[in-house]
Amino acid sequence: MYDGIVQDLIDEFGRLPGIGPKSAQRIAFHILQTQNFDVSRLAELLSEVREKVRFCEVCGNLTEHERCSICRDPRRDESLICVVEEPKDVVAIERTRQFRGLYHVLGGAISPIDGIGPDDLSIPALMRRIGESQVQEVIIATDPNLEGEATAAYLSRLLTSIEVPVSRLASGLPVGGDLEFADEVTLGRAFEGRRKVE
């Protein structure tokens, strides 16, 4: 334990996801010891993102506007919707440059253990969106893990029951992981090789 605010800082970093006590300590000491570390810039950004960044009213992606840059881009193909779990998945897929349609960010995945059901995700919003537009294909790109698979199965059933063409990414993605961890080439191939759900 350190004295006073140093320990407070370490504790605060330790509360962040994926940062254990050792990393928290390392970050705190980096800030303390690095003369030119711009603390005010970091503080400014933290309060600015809180203030300015919100979720796109159409797709749920992160944006500083009502609609995200992808939804605002007239060159994107509105007839294709790719469903992902989190905004970071949008970034991962954009990096592949394989997809020119729009996205729908669910805000997580179905997980009975964590008490997350379909109504906790933006599935009703997706259904509304599909009802209001001419969607030719919904590509389900949830994570290749248990929760992602459960979510994909649920969505596939829901969408095929109202006769919306659905496809899933081809296998070959690292099982059990997050979409964002797949490299661009693998993810790009999975996209190209997507298969229709009957």
How many angstroms separate the first and last alpha carbons of the chain?
58
**Does 83 participate in binding Zn ion (rule CB under 5 A)?**
no
Question: Coil, strand, or helix at residue 17?
Answer: coil
CB of 61 to Zn ion, least distance (A): 4
CB of 187 to Zn ion, least distance (A): 20
Give the tokens for residue 17.
């996801």
CB of 177 to Zn ion, least distance (A): 25
CB of 96 to Zn ion, least distance (A): 18
Lay out the site mask for Zn ion across 147-186 (x = CB under 5 A, - = otherwise).
----------------------------------------
d(CA 170, CA 28): 42
Give the tokens for residue 116.
């997350």
d(CA 176, CA 172): 12
d(CA 99, CA 80): 9
- Count of residues that bind Zn ion according to CB under 5 A: 6
Question: Who's near 13: CB < 8 A, 6+ residues apart?
Answer: 19, 23, 24, 27, 28
**Does 142 participate in binding Zn ion (rule CB under 5 A)?**
no
Among residues 24 and 70, whose Cβ is nearest to Zn ion? Answer: 70
* Range 38-67, binding Zn ion (CB under 5 A): 56, 58-59, 61
Of the candidate residues 9, 10, 28, 71, the single one contacting Zn ion (CB under 5 A): 71
- Chain residues in the site for Zn ion (CB under 5 A): 56, 58-59, 61, 68, 71
